[in-house]
Structure 1
């Protein structure tokens, strides 16, 4: 039987939008009016590589049992009791309310695990707004925008921690699980040919006609290092203006879904065409979802001026993909196999960096060096005082910086910290999350 996941929260925090986003189609009615959802809705969804039963519940409100709101609350509480996991949704834009805190207290007393979801975090300050949710005592908040689809990959990762893989027992160690790898890129870039090359067999139909692969195809295998891999070859993603036929819309959706479920993405780039907006859009989506990325520069054997081709690619990456600075590039020919043996080692290295956590002591020694090298700027005539940093999670590496008025830190100083972290700890090509929390260190010396 599929695991059951309930989405709960007070009215109008975006539960139904999140439900529709996870299911992949519009089932629940969405409106700005609170209380639109009164009855529980359920649907089958694919989350974190698992088929699950997803429940959309009515809004939690403080009310007497005989009222409509009271009956809605009772229905939501019943959904929690029958669930294997709860997604507790708050509205990060409007901040925590007494109702949020009351329901968080109730959830902490329930036997079901909870993933805290901070919705409506689109925009530059969205990540900071989510930090307030730490006060609820439900662990790390997952910052998402159900409306825009931001953060769905990290939500899948959080859910995955509580659900067993379909073909594995709950007790299996993470090290034994296959690395989840997606191959993405434009149509006819050579994705299926590359998959066949990695597998050593003609598993996928290939040819010069673009769009031969219509759906995502999952393949499990063991690479030369002896590591298990679950590899998904996706349908090519075209420019939005060209996605007209229903079948092609389904192909594009399958590509995006595979990217959300993977841990590392191989972005296949046709070396003869170079890295254009389509490839940059896919790389940015992978970064937005917190995925490690490796570029497979395919058809390298057909390139005449290799130095100029490399230089153009490096310039494009430097100017248009700074958030993945140092992304590994592996020139190869999927057709002949030349250079393909270097691809999986690069993938494994990117995966290891993506999983890496830095200890608090080492992290703060680096942090103090960065502050000494370039003190924080003045904002409105007052200096921002950053006190300490922690790394609460990896996958991707996430740094939380605490300090007085930390949330007002200018964007250029944020980039300075991220780039310094990437350089100091060798995190090339890995998405880095920087979150700022405006509070003081309770262990700092009194001034």
Structure 2
């Protein structure tokens, strides 16, 4: 993962910051909608502009609100983004012209040590000409005129950024996702208000994500790169992914919430290990099992954590009840790790990360051919495959075709008639004897491709 200069995009709500962010990173990472205030946490992505590579930060719209309110907490995130950036793009809406909030943001930015580039968005056509002239009065020189939606003016943006970050040089760490030293991609999922953002803030030791009593604060899936020092004092790299809370489908009505849930599901696809965070004060609900099942169907390694354990009532009974419900509700995978944590106090977080790394190791494991063959022979000898209709099912050999998740193919004759119960027996035996634990294991059955290769016995 290369170290890159950082560019923050700031401005009042709904001027097009997320649209420019998506344009720069080349994909729709940030949610975009007509209503203001869609972005709440600051989101990062890697951008490239005419060969100029940098890290870009999309921020929440800057609003003049009490610091203890949700907009006030969003504003603190924007201020933190500017402080850590090498340059900030101050965006105004050329069609709407300069408004008092733009002037307030300009006064704040003039007191910052971060270089500022003024950007007039929505400047295509004659409707933005007056707004561009008004922007000159903000004191940051001639604005870069562009249309984030249509991609116009990006060459001018490149020319403005080049003198500031064009000479940046940093070593490329050259990550290989399959390497044990590669960052652990760890997604935190769960129902709204389970404490996902609070957990990540506790991990990294700063208020990086907005938290509060309001359910559904997080809308985008936010990735944060972080280094965790384990109990042996070994630094381990982690990419933490916070996601929007996932409610029952019937309760998801608003367009924006549907986009947020879809974004959370994409984050699961991106992750290696997924932590399903449960609220210990509410226990396990059917929605939690649906989320867990979705994670396993996607082939991701799953860890379940009971949060708010510091305030849980009748803890022993609660833990045993949740464990039994998981065994019944996730019958396809037995023994999914169940841990107790407190995002508020930090209890159990090191154990959670250790378990996540161990789970990724099992999820990425490739079994040596000799060990795989010996297991195969033992499994068939211990419980031979059935003979439906009196005809034998002959299983010839097995091979591992993939990892992450571990995937195997068994070749033989009449394997299409193998009962699902026997497939479960083989998968459970693999998990138990080959060290896969509770990670998803995929098993495919194939008959010989040669039509003359028949079992004559």
Give the shorter-chain TM-score range. Answer: 0.5 to 0.7
The residue that corresponds to 1:198 in the other structure is 203
Could you tell me how far 1:51 is from its partner in structure 2? 8.8
Q: Per the alignment, in what secondary structure is the counterpart of residue 374 of structure 2?
A: helix
Query: C-alpha offsets along residues 365-384 of structure 1, whole Å, 9 cap, x if unaligned?
Result: 11111111111111232111
Distance 2:290 2:229 in 1: 31
Change (3 A) 1:168 1:328: farther
Q: Does 1:269 align with 2:269?
A: no
Please, which of 155, 177, 185 is the counterpart of residue 180 of structure 1?
185
The residue that corresponds to 2:250 in the other structure is 241
Q: Per the alignment, in what secondary structure is the counterpart of residue 318 of structure 1?
A: helix
Distance 1:392 1:253 in 2: 30
Distance 1:400 1:363 in 2: 12
Change (3 A) 1:180 1:309: same
The residue that corresponds to 2:306 in the other structure is 297
Distance 1:51 1:394 in 2: 30
Q: Per the alignment, in what secondary structure is the counterpart of residue 383 of structure 1?
A: coil
Q: Does 1:359 align with 2:364?
A: no
Query: C-alpha offsets along residues 216-243 of structure 1, whole Å, 9 cap, x if unaligned?
Result: 1111101123111111100101110111
Q: Does 1:412 align with 2:421?
A: yes
Contact preservation (8 Å) 2:367, 2:400: yes
Please, which of 307, 319, 327 is the counterpart of residue 336 of structure 2?
327
> 1:3-402 residue pairs with structure 2 within 5 A?
172-174=175-177, 175=179, 176-225=181-230, 226-402=235-411
Q: Per the alignment, in what secondary structure is the counterpart of residue 332 of structure 2?
A: helix
Could you tell me how far 1:44 is from its partner in structure 2? 5.1
Q: Per the alignment, in what secondary structure is the counterpart of residue 227 of structure 1?
A: strand
Q: Which structure 1 residue ranges, 5 or more long, are not aligned?
A: 1-42, 53-166
Distance 2:376 2:454 in 1: 15
Could you tell me how far 1:323 is from its partner in structure 2? 2.1
Distance 2:434 2:176 in 1: 27
Q: Per the alignment, in what secondary structure is the counterpart of residue 363 of structure 1?
A: helix
Contact preservation (8 Å) 1:402, 1:440: no
- State the Cα RMSD in Å: 2.7
Contact preservation (8 Å) 1:359, 1:391: no
Distance 2:303 2:204 in 1: 18
Distance 2:388 2:47 in 1: 49
Q: Per the alignment, in what secondary structure is the counterpart of residue 229 of structure 2?
A: coil
Could you tell me how far 1:299 is from its partner in structure 2? 0.9
Contact preservation (8 Å) 1:45, 1:51: no
Q: Per the alignment, in what secondary structure is the counterpart of residue 335 of structure 1?
A: coil
Change (3 A) 1:337 1:444: farther
The residue that corresponds to 2:438 in the other structure is 429
Change (3 A) 1:237 1:51: farther
Q: Which structure 2 residue ranges, 5 or more long, are not aligned?
A: 1-25, 30-44, 49-169
Could you tell me how far 1:169 is from its partner in structure 2? 6.1
Distance 2:435 2:321 in 1: 24
Could you tell me how far 1:338 is from its partner in structure 2? 1.4
Change (3 A) 1:372 1:51: farther
Distance 1:172 1:405 in 2: 44
Q: What is the number of residues matched between the two proteins?
A: 289
Distance 1:252 1:233 in 2: 12
Return structure 1 stretches of 4+ with deviation > 3 angstroms.
43-46, 49-52, 167-174, 440-447
Could you tell me how far 1:304 is from its partner in structure 2? 2.4
Query: C-alpha offsets along residues 347-399 of structure 1, whole Å, 9 cap, x if unaligned?
Result: 00001000011112111111111111111111232111111111121101112
Single out whichever of 173-182 and 410-419 deviates more from structure 2: 173-182
